[in-house]
Structure 1
Amino acid sequence: MSTLTAKRSLVTHLDPYSQVSDTFRSLRNMIATSAGEKDRKIIAVTSAEPSEGKTTVAVNLAIASAQTGKKVLLIDANLRQPGLHQTFSVSNHNGLSSVLLQSAGLAESVKDVGIPLLTVLTSGPAPVLSGDPLDSSAMDALLKQARAEYDLVIIDSPALLALADASTVAMKSDGVLWVLHSGISRKAKALEAKKLLARLDAKVIGCVLNKAKSGQASAYRHYQASRA
């Protein structure tokens, strides 16, 4: 990830008075006032396919939520193609995989990224995959601990149609935020993802439509949120 891309991914922190940052605060407020919000501590951010903007949404939603005084944990659950350690320029020596494999605890695996009240759990070293490590008692224990220690947990999930891991994350979450990109998302794949979420009985909070076009000066000014 280039330095410029990483900075754009942190826009709510680096440029808090921009139109983009205001859009993410609106998204935060929409979620905070939606039905069932009091029981919604774990939110998964996903998309039908890769490169639709879900990581940027997860990062900026986490930052915007921390700005309200909430203690927020942001988890990179994309064990095969992680990105949060690059976004925040932190080590990925320990992380989610370390906790799941019980080689390290949550407290020693999370990272302070220099943003008040925001803590990040990167993916950790790529595990030797046998089955679905996210569908395990260790993952259940981690989320139980996170519920107790944080006001909000946001999971940057793999793409729904790319890995089975994403279905597991959706089912273990209290709500799912679905990201679509007008320039990338394919209608057939979006419909397939919608059917999958329905089969999983996932609690979809809403959709974020990313209208950004490649090469625009204001890369994320076209994010829009809507209730599902």
Structure 2
Amino acid sequence: MRRSINNSGLIASVNPESPISEVYRLLRTNIHYSSIDQALKTIMVTSSQAGEGKTTTISNLAITYAQEGRNVLLIDMDMRKPSLHRIFSQPNHHGLSTVLTGQTSVQDAIHETMINQLSLLPSGPVPVNPSDLIDSIAMREMLDQLIHQYDIILMDTPPVLAVTDSVIASTLCDGVIMVVAAGKVKKVHLKKAKEQLDHVNARMLGVVLNRINRDDQPDFYMNYYGMKG
């Protein structure tokens, strides 16, 4: 069932011709060219800590992929503090948690959104063991199934330094994007988050520097930087 979207944060849908929407499309392009030899079908977006804009970033990125004509699935893997169902005005009675615990089929848990070709798998009710569910055979089997049904799967995960969920999830993805709020995150925290991802050999695609001072960046509110080493 499609429901209306009434969220000003979805700028790529509300105002696709805006400069900010163009930056999200630039991010999409940079992700594509970060791996020419291997198609990136599962991409995780995270941050080092809460409040850096990762959910807004992944939501708008998903919209730009759908606008490109790709069949997109957005998964809310933040089963501790879910928010994507509210952003896209969808119910959350069933979702990832109920799929992984065998209460719901994945087909019944996925919702179409008002964005053509963009579907959402919400988090579902908050479980007692989110990290165990992510690190389960059921999770891997579900992704193996969905990869054949969608052109690209985008996963919104909790902050890396808050819980282990994101580090576990990174082992299931083709690539990881880290959202960093300019002027908010200390370098030591960002370094620690990257070290945790490196420890499990996560493939870092880059860093989105969010909330740049508009006086310094009059044309771009978000930039994309490659992250190496």
Match of 1:175 in 2: 175
Match of 2:119 in 1: 119
CA contact (8 A) 1:31 1:37 kept: no
Residue segments in structure 2 that go unaligned for 5+ positions in a row? 1-5
Query: 1:91: how far off?
Result: 0.4
Query: 1:130: how far off?
Result: 7.5
Match of 1:79 in 2: 79
Residue segments in structure 1 that go unaligned for 5+ positions in a row? 1-5
Query: For the aligned residues, what is the CA RMSD?
Result: 1.9
1:142-185, Cα deviation, whole Å (9 max, x unpaired) = 11111010000000011101111111111111100011001321
Match of 1:3 in 2: none
SS in 2 for 1:173: coil
Flag the 1:114–1:170 CA change in 2: closer, same or farther, 3 A: same
SS in 1 for 2:194: helix
Flag the 1:154–1:148 CA change in 2: closer, same or farther, 3 A: same
Of all paired residues, the percent bearing the same amino acid is 37
Alpha-carbon distance in structure 2 between the residues aligned to 1:37 and 1:186: 34
Aligned length: 219
Match of 2:186 in 1: 186
Q: Normalising to structure 2: TM-score of the pair?
A: 0.90
SS in 2 for 1:149: coil
Alpha-carbon distance in structure 2 between the residues aligned to 1:110 and 1:63: 16
CA contact (8 A) 1:112 1:120 kept: yes
Alpha-carbon distance in structure 2 between the residues aligned to 1:107 and 1:137: 18
Flag the 1:131–1:68 CA change in 2: closer, same or farther, 3 A: closer
1:23-81, Cα deviation, whole Å (9 max, x unpaired) = 00000011112225643100000111111111011101111011111000000000010
1:21 aligns with 2:50: no
Amino acid at match of 2:115: I
Query: 1:85: how far off?
Result: 0.8
CA contact (8 A) 1:178 1:208 kept: yes
Alpha-carbon distance in structure 1 between the residues aligned to 2:130 and 2:7: 35
Alpha-carbon distance in structure 1 between the residues aligned to 2:203 and 2:130: 28
Query: 1:206: how far off?
Result: 0.7
Q: Normalising to structure 1: TM-score of the pair?
A: 0.91
